[in-house]
Structure 1
Amino acid sequence: MIGAGPSGSVAAALLRQRGWQVCVLERQHFPRFSIGESLLPYCMEILEEAGLLQAVNEAGFQVKNGAAFTWGDRNTTIDFRDKFTAGPGTTFQVQRARFDQILIQEAEKMGAEVHFGHTVNNLDFTDEHATLSVSTDQNQSYTLQARFVLDASGYGRVLPRLLNLERPSAFPLREAWFTHIQDNISDPDFDREKIVIATHPRDRAIWMWLIPFSQGRCSIGVVGEPSHLAMNGRDPLVFLQDITREIPLLKRLLENAIWDTPVNPLRGYSANVTSLHGSRYALLGNAAEFLDPVFSSGVTIAMHSAKLATALVDKTLHGQTPDWEKDFVQALRVGIETFKTYVSGWYDCRFQDVIYSTQMNQDIRRMIASVLAGYAWDISNPFVEKSERRLNALAEICGEAQLDT
């Protein structure tokens, strides 16, 4: 296993349940900072299946039950508890440094062998095994043989780079600027159990997130194409504070915030690959494809890919010949393409028109809530099964959203 993030931990735990020896190689040392902090309820099902949910439940993370959207003077919410698909309706908003550490520690307790500060530099495949060339941050080198390799390296995308699998994303180049703050929010009407997704009042291609954590802290960030963000050489902290004040709700909520953490960038994060699997490897999560942070789909796709892959790895190691294309690639694509529909619809404003409309009836709202809660593989949901057609039709019914002048 390459990478000890959520998909690596879930895959390691599921494989240990099936009795396989698992070695996890992680380049960094935990705890370490990462974004992707707002989970989706479907993640809870996978964590429970992997035997990891109890530890997460006991960690004291901020409960999340939905999303609040704001655009100028327009405010609306999607409640994940009122949804079309059966399953958990709540989840958590987590500081990933601690969350990821909890998951990998639990996988380690199950018997996974975990090495931090170990980097995979090369690998070779034979009919029998893969040989990984590894170096440590103590300037040591060694080789490791494995019968199967799962790449859960996230943004590191180890196997796509080493095997020349990378290809450009269909999405435009966007970037995110983000930090953690002491929010000091005193508004009694503010619901800490919902992520805030804010559309910029003048440029709908720019949006911001506000993710409340427990203990009075928040993650805050802005996303857009560089030409739209127009930093113009401004200090990143000043830039993020300035654009926050342009969002009426965030300006009001964060008037007493303490900006005590440096602002970090993430650029060109959307990615794709030519193949998700080979004879002795498969790509999980962000190592395979990352869409966009707007609906917090990254960790959900990562965990679902781990669930799908480990079942097929088990069959492969038992000498069977599972259909990776059908049961991994095509199965995973159902959810990826669903999320892709709504991510694309967010940036071209079709989905924004739906979210900010007053015309959406409650049944359709429940179907949309299921998608945004992570149940993007439930093909009994019309907004999954025919996502593009349904979104187009709904956007036409709702019409173009307008701010009051």
Structure 2
Amino acid sequence: MDAPQETPRDINIDVVIIGAGPSGAIAASLLHQQGKQVLVLEKQHFPRFSIGESLLPYCMQFIEQAGMLEAVEQAGFQFKNGAAFRHNGTYTTFDFTEKFTQGPGTTFQVQRGQFDKLLADTAVSQGVEIRYGHQVNDIDLGQNASSTSILTVTDEHDSVYRVTAKYVLDASGFGRVLPRLLHLEKPSNLPARSAIFTHIEDNITDASFDREKILISVHPSQKDIWYWLIPFSDGRCSVGVVAEPHLIEHCQGDLKEQLWQLLNEEPGLKALLSNAKVLQPCASLKGYSANVSTLATSQFALLGNAGEFLDPVFSSGVTIAMQSASMAVETLIKQLDGNEVDWQQDYAEPLMQGVNTFRTYVQAWYDGRFQDVIFYDDPNPTIKQMICSILAGYAWDTNNPFVKDSERRLNMIVDLCRDHNKAS
């Protein structure tokens, strides 16, 4: 007979973090380093499947900041040094070591189940407490902006307890716990798109295929449809397609059949993946872009996808998650130490500066402007380095003109590329 499960007791804590993914693990580690009492509540058990497998080099400094770099470097993940783009036979690459901004120029392509568990396990080894199978069902922010918050939590045995916290960080990703509970959801200004994806044993025999880069392919006739192919170190790949729903409605069958029909419409991918074997059921995400009315107050902050998610095209999700974790912790430490902070000025606005830089390039990708720049056959080396910095994740470097004045600078280059192509 199994021993009875002990009911978790109500606790008081400095900071409660909802979610143990990359932003939650990084934030927990950084807070623990500063001597703050932190508890992480994670609804699922790790490892668990997630997409967002192609990291950006900018992430590496946050991993190092959290004391997790050695564990990540020794885990055997696929080395990554850039990104490759292909459309109708045109192939171009960006080497992230040849970028405008100082900082790491290489990173890894990771199976997120293993990667997220590694970060979480490393945080635990540092002294962080993570409770798996614990779901936040309600939150009471109290009577005023200086009140402690009370979270109602259910564990996997349906035992209910309460956590009283001075501050709450929502790192719940697509679960978006606080936006749901506090009615913060706001429509995204990006069109609704769908993604279909899976993991495969790729069996790629083409010697020219570069496993050290993510491959972004564009549909030969529909520029709004694009594909990712992310190689892993074990002969597997993550593969997916993204499009507005009406562009894939012609596909018949289940998700696997739909995905493969779309993959076969891109000749390069059809050839590369001719011997591929699907390893797990295909999955889909629909209408994934998200926004909120409030990113942070004196009582809570939203990290990563819990706050805003743009699009997977430039692999910005984990980068934004880690950046938000670092920025939120820096502001929170000041508040917990009794200093006056302005969460809008100190956290939300600086965070959104980089998010909006990514947004500029996401929107320009889908309307074709940025594709014209990427596939331009005679790029200016300095300008390519500046754009390469953004693709490598350095979207907060305001010394980069293509960050500081992203829309105007991009449009200037688009006009030059298009004028040159017309003339030739």
Query: Which of 130, 133, 145 matches 2:164?
Result: 145
CA distance in 1, matches of 2:232, 2:222: 28
- Residue 171 of structure 1 is matched in structure 2 by 190
- Residue 18 of structure 1 is matched in structure 2 by 34
- Residue 101 of structure 1 is matched in structure 2 by 117
- Residue 416 of structure 2 is matched in structure 1 by 397
Aligned ranges 1:297-336 → 2 under 5 Å: 297-336=316-355
CA distance in 2, matches of 1:401, 1:88: 34
C-alpha deviation, 1:362, in angstroms: 0.7
- Residue 352 of structure 1 is matched in structure 2 by 371
CA contact (8 A) 1:125 1:131 kept: yes
C-alpha deviation, 1:42, in angstroms: 0.2
Query: Which of 173, 181, 185 matches 1:154?
Result: 173
Q: SS of the residue aligned with 2:18?
A: coil
Q: State the AA in 1 paired with 2:159.
A: Q
CA distance in 1, matches of 2:174, 2:37: 25
Q: State the AA in 2 paired with 1:61.
A: F
Query: Which of 275, 278, 297 matches 1:256?
Result: 275
Q: SS of the residue aligned with 2:161?
A: strand
Aligned ranges 1:231-246 → 2 under 5 Å: 231-246=250-265
Contiguous gaps of at least 5 residues in structure 1? none
Query: Which of 362, 368, 372 matches 2:391?
Result: 372
- Residue 38 of structure 1 is matched in structure 2 by 54
Q: SS of the residue aligned with 1:139?
A: coil
Query: Which of 219, 225, 235 matches 1:206?
Result: 225
C-alpha deviation, 1:128, in angstroms: 3.6
CA distance in 1, matches of 2:49, 2:76: 18
Query: Which of 78, 82, 89 matches 2:98?
Result: 82
**Distance change (3 Å), C-alpha of 1:129 and 1:358:** same
CA contact (8 A) 2:251 2:261 kept: no
C-alpha deviation, 1:400, in angstroms: 8.0
Per-residue CA deviation, residues 266-301 of structure 1 (Å, 9 max, x unaligned), is 111100000001221100000000000000000000
**Is the counterpart of residue 53 in structure 1 residue 69 in structure 2?**
yes
CA distance in 1, matches of 2:256, 2:280: 9
CA distance in 2, matches of 1:256, 1:348: 33
C-alpha deviation, 1:244, in angstroms: 1.1
Q: State the AA in 2 paired with 1:4.
A: A
**Is the counterpart of residue 277 in structure 1 residue 296 in structure 2?**
yes
Structure-1-length-normalised TM-score:
0.98
- Residue 268 of structure 1 is matched in structure 2 by 287
C-alpha deviation, 1:256, in angstroms: 1.2
C-alpha deviation, 1:249, in angstroms: 1.6
CA distance in 1, matches of 2:117, 2:295: 26
Structure-2-length-normalised TM-score:
0.93
CA contact (8 A) 2:298 2:343 kept: no
C-alpha deviation, 1:231, in angstroms: 4.5
Task: Tell me the matched-pair count.
Answer: 402
**Distance change (3 Å), C-alpha of 1:241 and 1:180:** same
Q: SS of the residue aligned with 2:319?
A: helix
Q: State the AA in 2 paired with 1:297.
A: S
Between the aligned residues of both structures, percent identity stands at 56
CA contact (8 A) 1:43 1:303 kept: yes
Q: State the AA in 1 paired with 2:354.
A: G
CA contact (8 A) 1:199 1:206 kept: yes
Q: State the AA in 2 paired with 1:57.
A: E
Q: SS of the residue aligned with 2:234?
A: helix
Q: SS of the residue aligned with 2:83?
A: strand
CA distance in 1, matches of 2:349, 2:159: 40
Structure 1 segments, 4+ long, off by >4 Å, are none
Contiguous gaps of at least 5 residues in structure 2? 1-16
C-alpha deviation, 1:155, in angstroms: 0.2
CA distance in 2, matches of 1:260, 1:166: 35
Moved more, 160-169 or 135-144: 135-144
**Is the counterpart of residue 132 in structure 1 residue 148 in structure 2?**
no
CA contact (8 A) 1:356 1:401 kept: no
Query: Which of 128, 145, 163 matches 1:112?
Result: 128
